[in-house]
Amino acid sequence: MSIRQYLQSSLGRKWLMAMTGLILVLFVMGHMLGNLLIFLGPDAINAYAYKLHSIPDAIMTLIRLSLLLAVGIHIWMAVLLTLENKKAKPQGFKNKVKSTYASRTMRMSGVILLSFIIFHILHYTVRIVPTMEYNDNAVFTEIAGNSNYVALYKDSHPVIKYDEPVQTFNVYDMLIHGFKNPYVSFFYILSVGLLCLHLAHGISSIFQTFGLRNVAWRVRLDRVALVYGLIVFIGFASIPSAVIMEKLKYSWESSETENTISQSIELHQSSTH
């Protein structure tokens, strides 16, 4: 069988779905771990954002295109496999095999997740959602001194380049600002709940497609998948929850960080004189 024929068969399509799913599973874990830096304070997450933004444009475009391609192929294979299944099942046929809630809702959770991802990119990357418009001043009006950009800190010292403190985008306060809206936070928590369900079943299916989910390992691997989904849920949901519960506050409101931010503005101002 040629590669083309294999990829046109049900088995090949399932394999493509599993491989693209795996790429997305890894991206989600990496993204969650990066976001959790917010709990280490503004310097940690702003420095992380600085590193991400310093990746050369060509590489960033390649990463973004690969992610987009992975999402596109994943959805396309899901549609083809669903149509194939429908054709193969006689009319009125009811599947007697016991299925889990997650497996029955894969298509629904997938569609809602896609809408979430589109909203999320418009919210934090493109910033055109009301109150997050891509006028950085609009997003940061509430920030003392309008500091859209703050000095980059390392070991509590500002990083100096050519006698100037290096400036980085204030992702920390932008995230707090976004999640101050309880409707937005609720939508994020709901969506990452669905992501948890989608991942728990999706990862079990990846094990199945790769032939690892045999009788002896089935229960254990399903547990691994569930634990992964739960970790992702808790990790992502903790951020909007902490903002709503006021455990995470704007940098200038928190006594531990007030100093660094105001110090950085002062430093910046004195270096421009």
Tokens describing residue 129: 């959602």
Rule CB under 6 A: say whether 195 interacts with ligand HEM: yes
- Cβ neighbours of residue 52 closer than 8 Å, sequence gap 6 or more: 34
- Cβ neighbours of residue 193 closer than 8 Å, sequence gap 6 or more: 233, 237
Q: Which of residues 231-260 bind ligand HEM (CB under 6 A)?
A: 236, 239-240
Nearer to ligand HEM, 64 or 89 (CB): 64
Which single residue is written with the structure tokens 């993204």?
31
Site string for ligand HEM, 127-166 (x = CB under 6 A): ----------------------------------------
Rule CB under 6 A: say whether 175 interacts with ligand HEM: yes
Rule CB under 6 A: say whether 37 interacts with ligand HEM: no
Q: Which of 99, 100, 125, 271 binds ligand HEM (CB under 6 A)?
A: 125
- Compute the least distance from the CB of residue 180 to ligand HEM, in Å: 13
- Compute the least distance from the CB of residue 80 to ligand HEM, in Å: 22
Residues pairing with 154 in the sheet: 157
Which single residue is written with the structure tokens 């992964």?
228
Rounded to whole angstroms, the Cα distance separating 93 from 13 reads 24
DSSP string, 106-148: HHHHHHHHHHHHHHHIIIIIS--STTS-S-HHHHHTTSGGG-S
Residues that bind ligand HEM (CB under 6 A): 28, 31, 35, 49, 64, 117, 120-121, 124-125, 171, 175, 188, 192, 195, 236, 239-240
